[in-house]
Amino acid sequence: MLRDRRVLARLLTTVLVAGVIGGLMMSSQWHRTIKPSPSQVTTAPPGMMQLVRDEHDLVADMVRTQLAVLDSGVDSKPIAAAERRLVIALR
């Protein structure tokens, strides 16, 4: 019984020390954030931002269409084949 307590005490001590060391290591890591210099920051032109918005709208429409197809119970294999052909054509 005494031996079990010693083993348990040693285990708890080891876990506590490891937790303290790990906590110190993690807390010191977050204080050293690297901030980009102004020369590294570039803004995207308006045309590029519009392209990104258009792509997001297309993906959102595709997801809405897929969800509608799943809800309606229509066989989705022809639609998946058409989407694959579209992806290949856009490459």
Contacts of 44 (CB under 8 A, 6+ apart): 52
Residues 48 and 27 in one domain: no
Total domain count, the chain: 2
Q: Which of 34-38, 40-44, 56-60 has the lowest mean pLDDT?
A: 34-38
Residues 62 and 87 in one domain: yes
| Per-residue model confidence (pLDDT) at position 28 | 66
Residues 1 and 28 in one domain: yes
Domain coverage including residue 70? 44-91
Contacts of 69 (CB under 8 A, 6+ apart): 76, 79
Highest mean pLDDT among 16-25, 44-53, 57-66: 44-53
- pLDDT surpasses 80 at 69: no
* Residue 59 phi, psi dihedral angles, 5° rounding: -65, -40
In a domain, 39, yes or no: no
Which position has the higher pLDDT, 32 or 91?
A: 91
In a domain, 70, yes or no: yes
Residues 25 and 55 in one domain: no
Residues 51 and 91 in one domain: yes
In a domain, 37, yes or no: no
| Per-residue model confidence (pLDDT) at position 90 | 77
| Per-residue model confidence (pLDDT) at position 38 | 67
